[in-house]
A and B are shown apart, each in its own frame.
Chain A
Amino acid sequence: MKFNKALALGAVSGASLLLLAACGSKSSDKSLASDQTLNWVETANLPTMDPSKSTDIVSGGTLNNVDEGLLRLGEGSKLRPGVAKSYSVSKDGKTWTFNLRHSKWSNGDPVTANDFVYGWRRTVKPSTASQYAYLYDHVKNFSAVNKGKLAPSKLGIKADGKYKVVVTLSRPQTYFKYLVGAQAFFPQNQKVAEKYGSKYASNSSSAVYNGPFKLTGWNGTNNTWTLKKNKQYWNAKATKLAAIKFQVIKDQGTWLSQYQSGKVDEIITDGTQYKQLKNSKEMHLRNGASTFYLEMNQRKGFFKNNVAARKAISLAINKEQLVKNVLADGSQAPKGLVPTKLAKRGNTDFADAAYVKSGTAYNLKQAKAEWRQALKKSGRSSLSLELLADDTPAGKQTAEFIQSQLTKLPGLKVTTTNVPFNVRLSRSTKGDFDLVIGGWSADFPDAISFSSLFTSNNSYNRGQWQNSAYDTAIKNAEGKDADNSAARWDDLVSAEKTLMSQQGIVPLYQQTQAQLLKSKVKGVQYFPTGAQWDFSHAYISNSK
């Protein structure tokens, strides 16, 4: 019945339907080890379990395994049903209707439409001070509610009965479907949140869970906690792991010792460890959704309106060598700003579709020629530039490498300054640099999460590169083509091509994590964006 209703409501071109994916286990039970306990390492503490306040990967990843939003990311970053068993979108792309299944919180309460309404309003209202509220950007009245000018009840979400959520957007947003799977959009149990007040979700017993697992043994600040199978979860029969024991280990040497002694089942390796162990069968490269790039200050002076200078800088840096010999941690040379495997249309990867060879190529001879031309254009014979970067190991290595590459350009002297993250961020936002190494990681699998950065006067556009064709393409993708996926894709591809052919920035590398994972551990799903890991289908196998 619900299915038909959804179909009737969304009997329009933009209607999308999700059906229950076949989640049944393919592996027979005898391949399962008797002890279904996974030992996982985190590199930082679990700071909160409040979906409205989570900003880091530890809490994000934990929340994704203990809670569930309307939809869920599945294998290959494809969406699968979450609490919503189906949804439909109106013709104008502004009204999204989600039909919820009958499911329960870990305390037995039903998960209802009101839990979503409450959770969303709580995330957006100003007193929560959520640092991810900006993801609600397209939801009707977000801005006014977030600034405290309108009551939270005016936010574009309402419950239609107990099991239907209706969301109103201020303008169409095709990737809204990915957002509703993110932590900031999770349902929250009003009764529990109000009962615990400021202590809500600050330890494992002051929260309830509606996902495959529930959290235990976390006192709010300790270094260990355990996820246990949540028997109330609607798809609990598919959950094979009985427990996942987490341990915080911050020292890289200790990770490896703990892994080798069999105390933990996985670790992320650093450059040195990756070099030693890269041929191991247990090594897996996890393609991240983050790109590191060099920005050139174009507010005034040398790089402004000087394409030749920007091209020279890019052509002089050998990105292949940077990832293979300098970082050597599994990271990859970039194809552009948008990382590979982030967004796809059909079988085409966005990064391939928008690939501009000259934008990331290395050619020292051509670089020198472009540089001479750039110097001539600005009437100089020599130039000295400051390269600003993080004081992390990767930041220092990258900066030194780039310095050594750029000094091959005639008349160029480069000095490096490595500073703590906070300093780098505040100096680059103020424009207090010549060259700066920065990075970005996507919150959701759509190219716009990167492309929107480099519009004119955007505060994330630290170098203030400006191009009207780029601005128009992004404006169309967010505006007139927002609900036309083919036209929108073309807009974003053309924007990326403009950025790369004008060398607005110099992409340096696409971050990849090199993970050692014991071969007995199967079925762990990895996502480049948002929460990194999903354990709902993982299991410990008998065979090695």
Chain B
Amino acid sequence: MAKYLIKRIFYLLLTLFIVITVTFFMMKLLPGTPLTNQQKLSPAQQHLILKQYGLTKPVWQQYLIYVAGVFHGNFGTSFQFSDQPVSYLISSRIGPSLLLGAQAMILGVIPGILVGALGAIKKNTWVDSTTTIVSILGISIPSFVLAVLLQYYIGLKLGWLPIADWGGFAYTILPTIALAASPFADTARFIRTEMVDVLNSDYIELAKAKGLSKWGVIYHHALRNSLIPVVTIIGPLAVNIMTGSMVIENIFSVPGIGEQFVKSILTNDYPTIMAVTIVYSLMLMVVLLITDIVYGIIDPRIRITNTSK
């Protein structure tokens, strides 16, 4: 297991290095400058200022300087926030993003599993139809539409929860629901399909024949076997939540990093683009690594193959 982990972490770092390199050179192809007042600066004035930031050097030199900086933990200074080191920009804003992401993941996946399982067990009844309709709605309504609806009805009309802003658990509820809708629906659909298959398989018949209780069969055999494909989609779900947060953070005025990413690209804020890319790819790769480890825990066959290497 340890050997496997070390290997995986090595590959993770290698991938990260490739991501950094590719992003850096692609980013340098963006037209324009990171200067926030560039519209009012003549090319000569721009050159003077860019020189101060070392942005008039050849791109390969800038790349080497950047990579050397990253190895020393220096991610540069943001252009949008003119005096803030990017590491501070991210560390001060990542908390809300992570919290929302984790809450949305929990609120999406766990009820998704329950609702999906319920649909499969009560196949072809009104319960099944209802859960299917709910999950289809969850998939087809974009998160930003749901966000605005929640904001209008629950925030403004009923006044139960804050419309926007950040400052305690109450403020996280609406954005979490908006973000969780799509992972919830995905999980429910997946579980239902898998479980319908599993429930029809021979070993379930065998378990039933052995005289196990109905819920015992469902919990020990059906659910556990249906969970494997769900673990597969956790990676894509995490990506879904990360990209969804870029919009949701904007709508609910959440002080996170999602919308900083979009803005940094539009304003050529090179150090921020790089750092947020690194954070996002790192988060995704860690989620994938954890998924693979979890695989081993729920599916013994995978565990054996891995440890035998």
Contacts and interface: CB of A to CB of B under 8 A. Distances in A.
B77 to A, nearest CB: 8
Interface string A38-59: 0000000101101001011000
B251 A426 contact: no
Interface string A259-290: 01101000000000000000000000000000
A250 interface: yes
Contact of B39 (A48, A250, A258, A425): A425
A254 B252 contact: yes
Contact of B37 (A55, A223, A263, A429): A55
Contact of A48 (B81, B159, B268): B81
Interface residues of B, number: 47
Given A221-B92, A223-B255, A425-B39, A47 B81 contact: yes
Contacts of A533: none
Contact of A258 (B35, B49, B164, B266): B164
Contacts of B84: 202, 220-221
Contacts of A146: 48
B88 A221 contact: yes
B45 interface: yes
Contact of A425 (B32, B45, B48, B251): B32
A160 B183 CA distance: 69
A357 to B, nearest CB: 30
B266 A420 contact: yes
Contact of A250 (B92, B156, B253, B266): B253
Interface residues of A, number: 51
Given A131-B35, A254-B252, A261 B30 contact: no
**Secondary structure at chain B's binding surface: helix, strand, loop or mixed?**
loop
Given A426-B31, A460-B42, A126 B52 contact: yes
Contact of B255 (A222, A420, A425): A222
B300 to A, nearest CB: 47
Contacts of B166: 223-224
A326 interface: no
Contacts of A248: 253, 255
A421 interface: yes
B253 A223 contact: yes
B246 to A, nearest CB: 11
B267 interface: yes
B80 A47 contact: yes
A200 interface: yes
B53 A129 contact: yes
Nearest to A53: B82
Interface of A: 45, 47-48, 50, 53, 55-56, 126-127, 129-132, 134, 146-147, 198-202, 219-224, 247-251, 253-254, 257-258, 260-261, 263, 420-423, 425-427, 429, 440, 443, 459-460
Given A47-B82, A261-B159, 16 more contacts: A47-B36, A126-B52, A129-B52, A129-B53, A130-B49, A131-B35, A131-B37, A134-B41, A146-B48, A224-B166, A257-B151, A422-B32, A422-B267, A423-B31, A425-B31, A425-B39
